């Protein structure tokens, strides 16, 4: 199909879709005119019932906890897929190898400070996820981002442990498996799968919300490690394992 | 004015689709797909907005204060995760395509056989 023909087919299709969108939007309630009951109900019941002051995380890890388990496995499946797709390639000879050394001390210093700061922010987002804004998913991504900064500003050697899948895999397992085990623990104690175990604790403190805290931590770990694994797989395909000058220094 | 957020979502979806269909680079295509997917974030958050509602986080806020729908926010979270998963797979496939055909232009990859 030529490019011209493709655009010729695409333009009327998009125009038609735009028309349908306009029709649909005209029938929607105006922005801010919320009709559904669930938002109001959850905002009323999650804090008294689960003692989790972040209702979004209370919803994610308790009210729809089983969905979130599936969500974790979507990420897991993606890591698996990327690993399988690129494995072949990594062994089939690398395409282009570039040595890259960062020479600026100022950038290195700033980077190291940002790695520390990023790790702290990430840990805080995960740890207090069910109390204040944050949670395992965004926190996990910030943690992974902070560690990736180490790759940007440090040498390959500094980053080496974080691209070794044999080091990372067990943590991914603990993250994804911990979620399921918490669900099964509820089953074992005679409650429905993923029912909230433990006492609900003092609202607004770290010791609150029962299982939500554990599920939140497990998700944080799984997400952070999944990001690192994805990055490691892409890195493995295009960059040399260890540069001699790094190995020696 | 009160329909603007819906219109933004529709626009993002259309622009992203146009980008995917006319893309000359698989990596560009992956990014266009994230633009399309972003429209669903905008739509979800728009649907859940309550006029003058605050974030559904009640740390230091009296219970019963008007807040937006937490369900769609949790769904947006899922949406973002799915987006990351899909983009990672597309990029891996793009790498594979580049290795096999030496190009990331979808039109030229189609000419390569085997």
Q: Are B50 and A32 in contact (CB under 8 A)?
A: yes
What's the whole-number average pLDDT of chain B? Answer: 87
How does pLDDT run across B41-90, given as a tens digit for each residue? 999 999 888 888 888 888 877 777 888 888 898 899 889 989 999 999 99
**Predicted local distance difference test score (pLDDT) of residue A95:** 46
Q: B89 vs A82: CB contact, 8 Å cut-off? A: yes
| Among candidate residues A131, A109, A31, A166, the one with its CA nearest the CA of residue B2 | A31
Question: Which residue in the set A34, A46, A81 is minimally distant from B49, CB to CB?
Answer: A34
* Disruptive mutation site among B13, B19, B37, B56 for chain A (greatest number of A CBs within 10 Å): B56
Q: For residue A131, what are its two tokens?
A: 């109390």
CA triplet A42, A205, A176: central angle to 5 degrees? 70
Q: Which chain A residue shows the shortest CA-CA distance from B83?
A: A75
Residues of chain A with Cβ-Cβ distance to B96 below 8 Å are: 85-86, 89
Rounded CA gap, A27 and A74, in Å? 34
| Extended strands (E) in A191-238 | none
**Predicted local distance difference test score (pLDDT) of residue A102:** 62
Show the low-confidence residues of chain A (pLDDT under 70). Answer: 1, 88-103, 155-158, 199, 238-249
**Predicted local distance difference test score (pLDDT) of residue A161:** 73
Distance of CA A134 to the CA centre of its chain: 12
ipTM score here? Answer: 0.81
What is the Cα Rg of chain A in Å?
23
Interface of A with B in 221-240 (CB under 8 A): 223, 230, 233-234, 237
**Predicted local distance difference test score (pLDDT) of residue A242:** 46
**Predicted local distance difference test score (pLDDT) of residue A243:** 46
Q: For residue A170, what are its two tokens?
A: 């067990």
Interface of A with B in 176-195 (CB under 8 A): none
């Amino acid at each position: 199909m030529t490019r011209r023909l493709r655009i010729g087919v695409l333009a009327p299709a998009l125009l038609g879709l735009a028309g349908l969108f306009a029709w649909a939007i005209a029938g929607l309630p105006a922005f801010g005119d919320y009709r559904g009951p669930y938002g109001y109900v959850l905002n009323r019941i999650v804090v008294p019932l689960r003692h989790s002051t972040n209702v979004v995380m209370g919803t994610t890890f308790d009210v729809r906890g089983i969905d979130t388990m599936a969500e974790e496995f979507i990420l897991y499946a993606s890591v698996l897929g990327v690993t399988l797709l690129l494995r072949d390639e990594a062994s089939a000879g690398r395409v282009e190898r570039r040595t890259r050394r960062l020479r600026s001390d100022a950038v290195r210093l700033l980077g190291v400070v940002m790695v520390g700061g990023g790790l702290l922010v990430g840990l805080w987002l995960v740890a207090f996820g069910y109390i204040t804004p944050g949670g395992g998913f965004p926190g996990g991504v910030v943690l992974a981002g902070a560690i990736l900064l180490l790759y940007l500003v440090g040498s390959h050697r500094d980053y080496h442990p974080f691209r070794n899948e044999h080091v990372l895999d067990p943590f991914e397992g603990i993250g994804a498996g911990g979620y399921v085990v918490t669900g099964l623990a509820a089953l074992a104690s005679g409650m429905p799968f993923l029912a909230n175990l433990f006492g609900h604790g003092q609202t607004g403190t770290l010791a609150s919300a029962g299982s939500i805290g554990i599920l939140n931590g497990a998700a944080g770990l799984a997400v952070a490690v999944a990001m690192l694994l994805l990055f490691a797989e892409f890195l493995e395909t295009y960059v040399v394992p260890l540069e001699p000058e790094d190995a020696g220094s | 004015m009160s329909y603007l957020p819906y219109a933004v979502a529709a626009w993002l979806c259309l622009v992203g689709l146009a980008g995917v269909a006319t893309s000359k680079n698989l990596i560009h295509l992956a990014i266009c797909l994230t633009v399309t997917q972003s429209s669903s974030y905008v739509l979800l958050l728009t649907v859940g907005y309550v006029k003058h509602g605050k974030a559904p986080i009640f740390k230091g806020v009296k219970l019963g204060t008007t807040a937006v729908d937490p369900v769609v926010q949790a769904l947006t979270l899922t949406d973002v995760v799915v987006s990351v998963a899909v983009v990672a797979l597309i990029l891996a496939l793009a790498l594979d395509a580049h290795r096999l055909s030496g190009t990331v232009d979808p039109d030229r990859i189609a000419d390569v056989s085997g």
